[in-house]
Amino acid sequence: DSLELSVACGEVPLLFLGWAIMCAPHAQAAMAQDLGLDDPEEGDNLYEFVEEFCMKPEVLCNFLRLVESDYSKENPYHNGIHASDVMQTTFALLQMGGDKFSSSPLELFSLLLAAACHDMGHPGRNNSFEVNSHSELSVIYNDSSVLENMHAARACRLLTRQPGDADLNADILVGLQKTQKEAFRASFTKAILCTDMSQHFAKVAQLKSKISHFGTSDPLKFYVNSDGRSMSCVLQFILHLADISNPAKPAPVFVEWCDRCLNEFFAQGDAEKKAYMPVSPMCDRDVTVKSDSQLGFIKFIVRPSFVLLSDLVPRAVDEILPILESNLRYWEDVKLKEEEEAEEEEEEGKP
């Protein structure tokens, strides 16, 4: 639970979680030592990026501090807690079996860092707002995946910056060869761009077609050509699912995330009304019904996506889909209660 983690670690959940994931097993050994415990046994589920890419843990922590500082704490939803939640969920889906669709540690390294960076600099407004307001960002990125392009650009700028004497050393790619850096940036950037919700149904259709034609046994069949490079569409889909996974979290976490998301949406809707702009879907606090928003999101977006993923990652059948079904029933009960209360109020209002 990234919400609880944020409270426990002094509101720097991305720093703590990113260190634990990217610096394993050294991070776990350090935690055990600090707590006076025996060193944890090394398992098969650790990626050991520190050795693989000659990365210093303190440099990785510097990088994560800078990334986390670029997330606005004023945003109810798109903040550092969300980034840490997406990174943790991406890691969990990989550990459940998604990592078999990777052909190299570099792909996993880039995907997990993309999860951490995927919403850097988020303004608390969506792409529709940027486009309809003719913002500077919409002009720069030609109304195409405006925020996702901005997030990727800010992250890549941080990855390639040349620090001065007073700056933190955050060059986590220093141990990579030139060709590795090029491959990293390509897959890292593409993964962030694939979090654009406007691409959702196209990505689902692409994955369904792959499964229909090739089955699920050969991970190499799920690689696609993207700008001259071969990339795993499954790994990209995993990050996208992690980004929309709040309804698949246990109670009461999924309700808290729903409230945070709608609060940010409603703030955008208020701004749109004030500027005489079209109010974006789910952003009008006067007409949006919470239960309806979640029922539609789960039924038409989240559940079908995780059902599709379960064909590739079978553990999702027992570990994710039951939670989704339970949460769906919760919102159905809320909806039923709302309707009953509305009927009672209508009856009381009759002469």
Catalytic residues: 78
> Residue 232 forms beta bridges with which residues?
223
Cβ atoms < 10 Å from Cβ of 205: 10
Residues 118 and 262 sit within 8 Å (Cβ to Cβ): no
DSSP element (H, E) containing 342: helix 321-349
Task: Find the farthest-apart pair of alpha carbons in the chain and give their distance in angstroms, rounded.
Answer: 80
**Tokens encoding 209:** 């077609």
DSSP 317-328: HHHTHHHHHHHH
Spatial separation of the C-alpha atoms in residues 19 and 199, rounded to whole Å? 31
Q: What is the DSSP letter of 230?
A: E
Task: Give every CB contact of residue 317 below 8 A, 6+ residues apart in sequence.
Answer: 310
DSSP 1-69: -HHHHHHHTTS-HHHHHHHHHHTTTHHHHHHHHHTT-PPPPP-TT---HHHHTT--HHHHHHHHHHHHH
